Amino acid sequence: MTGRAKAVGQAVAIAAVAGLFALLVWKLAFADKGGAADALARGERPVAPTFVLDRLDASEGEIALADLRGKPIVVNFWASWCIPCKDEAPALQATYEKYRSQGLVVLGIDVRDFRQDARRFVKRFGITYPVVFDGSGSTVGKWGVTGFPETFFVDRSGRLVGKRIQGGIDIERNRQAYDEGLRLVLGSAQ
């Protein structure tokens, strides 16, 4: 092998290793570690990760979180196959009916589910608040969702406040955090 060919080979090998190393560094530096939920747990008030998703409760149309800016929002991640989601559904609907007049929006995000199952769920529990469909789970990483159900509170300025609620909002250990989250978003300024 000539010296020139050897030098080119070495350069290619070094470039390949450098490329892989750069990918590793990029992954470590920018990988989505715990999403917005981690920032919230550290006491920060991160901007709620945006999304545009198809409505489940309408034959067509979509909802963008950005379009709801200025309103207090309860974001609830759920799936029809999740048992605690069934348990908490009446409580979420009751919240929506109670605070709707104050501008509160309860937004359900149906994740990793069959549309027809989710529609059946919505009908069965008489849900009237808006629900969007995220079959691929595109929102899960950005929000830091680790299970279902999970509930977040977005204030009028579009930031997450209060605590992320893991598990049903109706169970005893989550009751206080849920009431506090509602208080924070309803009292928030734009």
Partner 1 sequence: MTRLLAAALVTLSLAGPAAAGSPVQADLEAEIVCPTCNTTLDQSNSPIAARMKAFIRARIAAGDSASEIKSQLVDQFGPAVLAEPAKRGFDLLAWLVPLGALTVGVLVVGALAWTWSRGGPTADHVSALDPDLAHRVDEELARFED
Residues lying near partner 1 in the complex (CB under 8 A): 1, 9, 79, 81-83, 112-115, 117, 135-138
Which is closer to partner 1, CB of 58 or CB of 94?
58
Q: How far is the CB of 42 from partner 1 (least distance, A)?
A: 26
Which is closer to partner 1, CB of 9 or CB of 61?
9
Q: How far is the CB of 113 from partner 1 (least distance, A)?
A: 7
Which is closer to partner 1, CB of 137 or CB of 167?
137
Which is closer to partner 1, CB of 1 or CB of 29?
1
Q: How far is the CB of 8 from partner 1 (least distance, A)?
A: 12
Q: What CA–CA distance (Å, rounded) separates 112 from 136?
A: 6
Q: How far is the CB of 9 from partner 1 (least distance, A)?
A: 8
Which is closer to partner 1, CB of 9 or CB of 70?
9
Structure tokens at 114: 């069959």
Which is closer to partner 1, CB of 57 or CB of 155?
57
Q: How far is the CB of 101 from partner 1 (least distance, A)?
A: 36
Q: How far is the CB of 134 from partner 1 (least distance, A)?
A: 9
Q: What CA–CA distance (Å, rounded) separates 143 from 37?
A: 6
Q: What is the DSSP string of the chain?
A: --HHHHHHHHHHHHHHHHHHHHHHHHHHHHS--SHHHHHHHTT--PBPPP-EEEESSSSS-EEEGGGGTTS-EEEEEE-TT-HHHHHHHHHHHHHHHHHGGGT-EEEEEEESS-HHHHHHHHHHTT--S-EEEETT-TTHHHHT--SSSEEEEE-TTSBEEEEEEES-TTSHHHHHHHHHHHHHHHT---
